[in-house]
Amino acid sequence: MSREMLRLCGTAEREPETRTLVAGDLRVELQNGNLAGLRFRGHEVLRGISFLVRDRDWGTCTALITDLAIAEQDGGFTLRYHARFTAPSGANLDCKATISGTSDSVTFSADCISNADFETARAGFVVLHPIVGVAGEPVGIRHGDGRVEHARWPKEIEPWQPFKDIAAITHHVARGIVATTEFQGDVFEMEDQRNWTDASYKTYVRPLALPWPYLVTKGTAFTQQISVQIRAEKDAAPAVADSDAIAVRLVPTGDRLPAIGIGLRPECLGEELASLPLLQTVGAEHLLAHFDPGAGHGIDALEGYAAIAARSGLKVTLELAVPCVRPLAEEMGAYAALVHQAGLRLDTLFVCPSVDRQSTPPGSAWPPCPELADVYAAAREAFPGIRLGGGMMSYFTELNRKRVPADLIDYVSHATCPIVHAADDLSVMQTFEALRHVVDTVRAIYGDKPYRIGPSTIAMRQNPYGSATKQNPAGSRLPMAERDPRHNGQFGAAFALAYAATVAPAGLEMLTLSTLSGPFGLSAGAGEPMASGELRPLGKVLARLGALSRRPLHVVETSRPDAVVGLASGEHLLLANIKSSSQHVVLPMKPSRVFDIVTEEEIPAKQRLALPPYGCVEIVL
Each domain of the chain, given as residue ranges in start order, spans: 17-232, 258-550, 567-620
The alpha carbon of 391 is separated from its chain's Cα centroid by a whole number of angstroms, namely 18
Q: Which residues contact 469 (CB under 8 A, 6 or more apart)?
A: 459, 460, 461, 462, 463, 480, 481, 482
Q: What is the pLDDT of residues 26-70, one digit of tens each?
A: 999 999 999 999 999 999 999 999 999 998 888 889 899 999 999
Q: pLDDT value at position 513? A: 98
Q: pLDDT value at position 75? A: 85
Q: pLDDT value at position 534? A: 81
How long a stretch of residues is the chain?
621
> What's the rounded mean pLDDT across residues 588-616?
95
Q: What is the pLDDT of residues 326-371, one digit of tens each?
A: 999 999 999 999 999 999 999 999 999 999 999 888 878 889 999 9
User: Which amino acid belongs to residue 563?
Assistant: A
Q: What is the pLDDT of residues 124-141, one digit of tens each?
A: 999 999 999 999 999 999
Q: pLDDT value at position 60? A: 84
Picking from 353, 271, 280, the residue whose alpha carbon sits closest to that of residue 311 is: 280
- Residue 48 and residue 128 in contact, taking contact as beta carbons nearer than 8 Å: yes
What pTM did the predictor assign? 0.94
Q: Which residues contact 302 (CB under 8 A, 6 or more apart)?
A: 291, 338, 339, 341, 342, 344
Burial of 556 (0-12, 13-18, 19+ CB in 10 A): buried
- Residue 317 and residue 389 in contact, taking contact as beta carbons nearer than 8 Å: yes
Confidence of residue 510 (pLDDT cuts 50, 70, 90): very high
Q: What is the pLDDT of residues 364-389, one digit of tens each?
A: 888 999 999 999 999 999 999 999 99
CA distance 62 to 420: 15
User: Which amino acid belongs to residue 518?
Assistant: G
CA distance 38 to 40: 7
Confidence of residue 465 (pLDDT cuts 50, 70, 90): confident
Give long-range contacts, CB 8 A cutoff, 24+ apart: 521-526: 521/268, 521/271, 521/275, 522/262, 522/275, 522/278, 522/282, 523/271, 523/275, 523/278, 524/488, 525/271
- Residue 228 and residue 106 in contact, taking contact as beta carbons nearer than 8 Å: yes
At the fourth CATH level, the homologous superfamily of domain 258-550 is Glycosidases (3.20.20.80)
- Number of Cβ atoms within 10 Å of the Cβ of 482: 17
Q: Which residues contact 403 (CB under 8 A, 6 or more apart)?
A: 445
CA distance 257 to 565: 15
In CATH terms, 567-620 corresponds, of 3.40.30.10, 2.60.40.1180, 3.30.360.10, 3.40.50.1000, to 2.60.40.1180
The full DSSP string for 559-583 is: S-TTTEEEEEETTEEEEEE-SSS-E
Q: What is the pLDDT of residues 305-322, one digit of tens each?
A: 999 999 999 999 999 999
- Residue 128 and residue 201 in contact, taking contact as beta carbons nearer than 8 Å: yes
Residue 521 is given by DSSP the state B
> Pairing state of beta strands 510-515 and 451-453?
parallel
CA distance 264 to 530: 21
- Residue 264 and residue 315 in contact, taking contact as beta carbons nearer than 8 Å: no
The alpha carbon of 35 is separated from its chain's Cα centroid by a whole number of angstroms, namely 21
Q: Which residues contact 152 (CB under 8 A, 6 or more apart)?
A: 136, 137, 138, 139
The full DSSP string for 364-383 is: SPPPP---HHHHHHHHHHHS
> What's the rounded mean pLDDT across residues 100-122?
96
Which residues does residue 124 pair with via DSSP β-bridges, in sequence order? 52
Confidence of residue 614 (pLDDT cuts 50, 70, 90): very high
Confidence of residue 244 (pLDDT cuts 50, 70, 90): confident
Does domain 17-232 sit in CATH 2.40.50.100? no
**Which element (helix H / strand E) includes 270?**
helix 269-274
Give long-range contacts, CB 8 A cutoff, 24+ apart: 369-373: 369/324, 370/324, 370/328, 372/404, 372/405, 372/408, 373/405, 373/408
The full DSSP string for 404-424 is: --GGG-SEEEEE--TTSS--S
Q: What is the pLDDT of residues 192-223, one digit of tens each?
A: 999 999 999 999 999 988 888 999 999 999 99
> Pairing state of beta strands 138-143 and 246-256?
unpaired
> What's the rounded mean pLDDT across residues 593-599?
96
Least confident of 11-15, 337-341, 349-353, 556-560: 11-15
Q: pLDDT value at position 16? A: 85
Q: What is the pLDDT of residues 74-107, one digit of tens each?
A: 889 999 999 999 999 999 999 999 999 999 999 9
Q: Which residues contact 397 (CB under 8 A, 6 or more apart)?
A: 159, 195, 196, 359, 464
Using the predicted structure, report yes or no on whether residue 530 has a pLDDT greater than 80: no
Confidence of residue 523 (pLDDT cuts 50, 70, 90): confident
Using the predicted structure, report yes or no on whether residue 533 has a pLDDT greater than 80: no
Q: pLDDT value at position 527? A: 59
CA distance 192 to 312: 42
Q: pLDDT value at position 62? A: 87
Using the predicted structure, report yes or no on whether residue 240 has a pLDDT greater than 90: no
